[in-house]
Amino acid sequence: MEMHMLRIIPTTFPFQNPNPHALCSSFHFLRYHPNPYPNPNPVIFNRKKQFRQGSASRGVFDESAFEVERLTLDSKARQSMADTSERETQSNDDPKAWKWIIRKRIWDLMEATNIAQNPRPVHHRIPNFVGASSASKRLAELEVFQRAHCVKVNPDSPQKQVRFLTLSGGKKLLTPQPRLRTGFFSILESSMLTPGMINEACTSVGVAKYGKPIGLDEKIKVDVIVIGSVAVDPNTGARLCKGEGFAELEYGMLRYMGTIDDSTPVVTAVHDCQLVDDIPVDKLLIHDVPVDIICTPTQVIYTNTSIPKPQGIYWEKLSPEKLGQIRILRELKSRIERETEKKLPSGPSEKLPPMAERSRG
């Protein structure tokens, strides 16, 4: 598989979106643009260079270099989340403090009771847990999953079995590239793999090795979204992720593509201890994604959520920090602004997050 950054050129875009900030023009993504941002760490940079050079040759993939880069960036991201959590919980009037309090309570509980599974500690992760395979099995037994042709699954450890059951069941697997660093999504199909490859294809390395990168112009219909959660309310479908917001961005971009809509079921698989009743719906942000179905090792819960699902990317909520992390969003925003001759709004800094009230429509 060739790993490249993305460049946008105009083309005809087949989907329309009524949202005023929606994608209003067309674009096409090419994967033949080498990364222009060198890593200041010479060791990591050399490993990255080896990885790219190796992957450019047919049949050669430097798994070691890929893992070094992935783990290094993952460690930096978790440290950044820890810093954000500390800063926001220390402020009495920070509107995001309550989210971190609930997250920490769940992470602490899972570690203290040994419900947590590797990778540990589970803090600042979508936590892996005892019984994840059982929760995944219940998910795979859902009628909406069994009927699905294409399933979007988050790349985290507790959903590895869901990814395996998707591929082994002959379905298309759509999974995001970690933190959207190298692009957008990768798609895998069982027809692309031998039976012996499927287990590896469910890992981050396997997705990079065997997956087909796609862009926002891909014509594809997703039938079910499987999303990771730290905590979820079974009564309302309100959900908390680990705090980075990538699941929300992925959902918003899929809405722009016309790949999903309000009727596309959103499912999460968690441990029973991750079920909570203290997520205040009126404090959720407009881009927070609720869930329709919860699968645990012991039960399946239909939330009948009335929380509105996001309609796309809310540029006015997207912080400069987040936009700076994701090249595909920066280029998409620039393209829209050039073609509409209008400047899209920008969100406030993450250091001073706003309160955004949200009603249960």
pLDDT single digits (tens) 261-285? 999 999 999 999 999 999 999 999 8
pLDDT at 70: 73
Q: What is the pTM of this model?
A: 0.77
pLDDT averaged over every residue in the chain: 80
Determine the pLDDT at residue 160.
96
pLDDT digits (tens, 9 = 90+) for 42-82: 333 333 333 333 333 345 777 777 777 777 877 887 787 77
Confidence (pLDDT) at 100: 94
CA neighbor of 274 nearest in space, from 248, 245, 300, 294? 294
Task: Give the residue ranges of the chain where pLDDT is below 50.
Answer: 1-58, 352-361
pLDDT recorded at residue 39: 42
